[in-house]
Chains A and B, each alone.
Chain A
């Protein structure tokens, strides 16, 4: 045998050997994220998905919304760190902590931990977004080691939701000595200690994070013993890891729809889907991007905005991108936000009506070039979108083509998110293709769709006092749902944006997992409830 052949054979054996010796995944769940978690600790996550997902495995809130995701009252919530709760009056809720709850270092979870966490979260200098969300909590006090009393500034139906949904509880005994400003740089971030079903094992930079189940977890024995989260920024690399059997589950598989076919060729995988809190919309800027003190020369006109919406067959675009895994939303509402208003503008579009509205507003194609003009000014707009989003990238092309059919010239402006973000926040856009993940309550709509929100996150500048009034009344109404419906329906009719899709999360999961529970507020937080088939252990 030639030396070269011998060397090649030896190398092949060396490389192939570990395939035989390698440990099977068994009761380990292997996931892949697009980015490494940088601060998987409540109050520090900054809303980043990868931080939230890992934090939801390590830390527990007082209670969590049940399968209905109802945010009104307290009936729909499930116990977590709080074993039970009771109302003292319309402004006060008392929570009794579960005496079995332990931190991963063995110390019991106490009322002092809850007080410490709320103190940090309500500090606008430390956690401005959280402080805003918790703004109607007047005080949080302890009665002994096991009882926490939360008092609110006013009576409203989502008190319980506000007290429990927004944050996991932090260990005061480990963090009280860390100055708030130094927490982000503290050793705690390298090895967080929580009270959830999984505890931190290690992070190998750039490669993976490993968590292991807490033996004797007080809410029940986790069915998955270990979670390994790998990182791959490239979507095709993530898909390859799944198809190559190197990970067990991948979320947001669609788009592209072709991925479903590829997964279908692997009998060891199955596709599951769940409605999500995400939706995509093209925001119309009501202010002139060149001078935001002036109204937008085109988009301040309600009829022009309605025409732009009606010029689009939203259903066709949504179906082409997501198949059956998305719907055209009515107003700013994901699939899980509990509103059911009457649709104001047809999801399939109405080109003739769009053309009529534009002509009535004075926009006509006088020179026959296919683009409408008024007073010598063409009906031309720029659509800005971040290239990091596959659905937005795909939909932008289709939108531009359909708008052109109605005589609207669209310039596409694909941008890296780091460049898109400042442009959006600076209100320097005509049309901005946004994606949003909502909280499960329509109360949050006031931030982005009310007149008052214009000084905050209402970057489109939409303002309808009627919507403000409806949302304000809903805040304190015993049953806010009819008011939410009316508010969202009114927004839909005003067309402050083209509400394009509300998508489901489509996942591929290895068949050896059973009883898969997916929680749309943090997809992996209930992995401890999953089970591994006996034959696969």
Chain B
């Protein structure tokens, strides 16, 4: 296991390095200029002012020199300073990490508990009305664009029924606290969950159907175990492998959040911060957020692989 793990870690580090180079190049090669947005949309800036700002930001230096400077900073743990906010990127990302983890974590938790449960329920009722209804619901919710779903829920629950706030993380006039955050969390989390839980349900249903048809299930039943024990103790455990892979792929969601849903609900997450940074060509902030996302993807894959390897020794070969 140990040599396999070391090899896997080295792969992860190499991939992250490659991602850094590619991200740096892609961000710089995209058409546009951060100075344009720095100077606002309502006035035409003079060419000298644009040139002066570009020099101040080091954007007039050759690309390799800019890259070397960025990597040197990264080695010191410095992700640079945001062009738009004039604040350290690390500080900006940290300030958005809490809301991001909360939203992403809630959605993952809901999807991988409720979604898994519903998937197994479908598998045990395969072909029956409940299975068909749940399949239809899963496909329908998965097909709905999250921003549309968000707007619809905001209108119905927030504006028409006035049950929950339609935006923000807390009420600036309230006392704050967990209950306030929870009220603000419901709609964005519900939107994201509804838009994505279908995938978990479908995956779990397939895996569970396969597991329920395996010979060891026949053996379990022959031993006289009840159907509940057969399903949850034996079949479900066996069907967990594909779900771990899926979980690993979805872990980045916790960090990068969901751009559209964050925008619709004015949720102060990293996804929205990154989207704004990309629109403003705030290179250091885009790179910082992208690196974080890349690291999350790689760590997610690593966690999934390790989980798989623990469940199935053949994976380590």
Chain A interface residues (CB < 8 Å from chain B): 14-19, 21-23, 25, 28, 30, 35-36, 38-39, 46-49, 125, 128-129, 132, 184-185, 189, 204-208, 210, 228, 230-234, 236-238, 240-241, 243-246, 278, 386, 388-389, 416-422, 424-425, 434-437, 448, 455-457, 459
Contact = CB atoms under 8 A, between A and B. Distances in A.
11 contacts: A18-B171, A38-B86, A128-B49, A185-B81, A240-B155, A244-B162, A246-B166, A386-B41, A388-B41, A416-B279, A436-B42
B159 A244 contact: yes
State which size class the interface on B falls in.
35 or more
Contact of A234 (B50, B172, B263): B263
B32 interface: yes
Interface of B: 31-50, 52, 81, 84-86, 92, 95-96, 99, 151, 154-155, 158-159, 162-175, 177, 179-180, 182-183, 186, 263-266, 268-269, 272-273, 276, 279-281
Contacts of B175: 18, 21
A417 B37 contact: yes
Contacts of A425: 36, 44-45, 47, 50
Contact of B166 (A207, A240, A422): A240
Contacts of B49: 128-129
B42 A47 contact: yes
Nearest to B46: A456
A241 B268 contact: no
A243 B159 contact: yes
B154 to A, nearest CB: 5
B36 A420 contact: yes
A47 B165 CA distance: 33
B42 A49 contact: yes
B29 to A, nearest CB: 12
B186 A233 contact: no
Given A22-B174, A231-B266, A425-B47, 7 more contacts: A15-B179, A15-B183, A35-B276, A47-B40, A210-B172, A237-B167, A435-B41
A388 B36 CA distance: 13
A232 B166 CA distance: 11
Nearest to B178: A14
A417 B159 contact: no
Would you list the 9 A-B pairs with minimal beta carbon distance, nearest first?
A: A421-B36, A206-B268, A418-B32, A232-B266, A205-B95, A437-B42, A419-B32, A234-B263, A457-B44
Contacts of A244: 154, 158-159, 162, 165-167
Given A244-B167, A416-B279, A278 B36 contact: no
B89 to A, nearest CB: 12
Contacts of B265: 237
A39 B85 CA distance: 8
